[in-house]
Amino acid sequence: MSPARVVSEDPVGVVTPDDETKYARTRGRILDAAAYVLSRKGYAGTRLSDVAERVDIQTPAIYYYFASRDDLIEEVMASGLADMRVHLQATLQALPPGTPALEKILVAAETHLRHELEISDYTTASIRNRGQIPSRLRIRADREEDSYGALWRQLFDEAACAGELRSDVDPRISQMLVLGALNWAAEWWDPRRTPLHAIVADAQRLIRGALEPSGTDAPGRGRR
């Protein structure tokens, strides 16, 4: 958490709305820079000097906005997962009424990959550093991860209840395997070798092939 700022009773020291706007803008730029560095260099390799260089400020100035390096990283981690959750919710809500449950899972997979690999340094940083940061920094991120996972559980439960999953797969296990595979793409994907749309298309084909009932599966037999 950022250290509290003291507002002086002297009118010269009063924080004006313009000051607050500038503060929020600079804080946001620091977070953006930290997400960029963290997504590429990892927890151990992220230095405040690298963050400051991207923002074009002196390194000590960061402490006006964040009490420590770990506070900054914690904010990035939680923000990345929260942003991905909100983005997925909005994408699903924008689908036409009556969209089949399995199609929603395929849309969610594309949304996850594009947000992770193309849209958000925050999300990339959160996913790539999940196992690197100390447990004390994971509390907020864990809560956001649980909320995000709940969206996916709902999708798989809906598909199972609608008979849109194979009868011989477990929705929970399948969900975890799918999310694990999607997350791992942040570690190996090289945009210079494979375009993102090809990754999305292959992921959707694999998911459909693994989950969609065969002709011998009776409707409504999905496991719960």
Q: Which residue has the tokens 């998911």?
A: 207
Domain that holds residue 152: 69-211
List, for residues 74-112, the tens digit of each pLDDT value: 999 988 889 899 999 999 999 999 999 999 999 999 999
Give tens-digit pLDDT for 138-176. 898 899 999 999 999 999 999 999 999 999 999 999 999
Examine residue 44 and state whether it is found in any structural domain, yes or no: no
- By C-alpha distance, which of 200, 210, 201, 146 is closest to 174? 210
What helix, strand, coil percent values describe the chain, rounded to 5? 70, 0, 30
CA dihedral of residues 35, 38, 41, 43 (deg, nearest 10): 180
Domain assignment of residue 166, yes or no: yes
What pTM did the predictor assign?
A: 0.80
Q: Specify whether the backbone of 163 is left (phi greater than 0), alpha (psi in -120 to 50) or beta.
A: left
For residue 53, tell me if it sits in a domain: no
Residue 188 in any domain: the answer is: yes
Q: Which residues contact 62 (CB under 8 A, 6 or more apart)?
A: 30, 48, 51, 52, 72
Number of domains within the chain? 1
pLDDT above 50 (res 19): yes
Residue at 165 is within a domain: yes
| Mean pLDDT of the residues in the chain | 87
Burial 91-108 (b: 16+ CB within 10 A, else e): bbeeeeeeeebbebbbbb
**61-79 per-position pLDDT tens digit:** 999 999 999 999 999 998 8
Give domain status of residue 172, yes or no: yes
203: which residues sit within 8 A by CB, 6+ positions away?
Answer: 109, 110, 113, 181, 182, 185
| CATH number for position 157 | 1.10.357.10
pLDDT tens-place string over residues 172-181: 999 999 999 9
The DSSP element (H or E) to which 162 belongs, if any, is none
Classify residue 43: in a domain, yes or no. Answer: no
pLDDT tens digits, 185-212: 988 989 899 999 999 999 999 999 999 9
What 3-state class would DSSP assign to 116?
helix
20 occurs within a structural domain: no
Element (H, E) at 223: none
Cα distances from 202 to residues 137, 178, 205, in angstroms, run 34, 13, 5
Amino acid in the structure at residue 163: G
Q: What is the Cα–Cα distance from 31 to 202, expressed in whole angstroms?
A: 33
Number of residues that make up the chain: 224
**Longest pairwise C-alpha distance within the chain:** 79
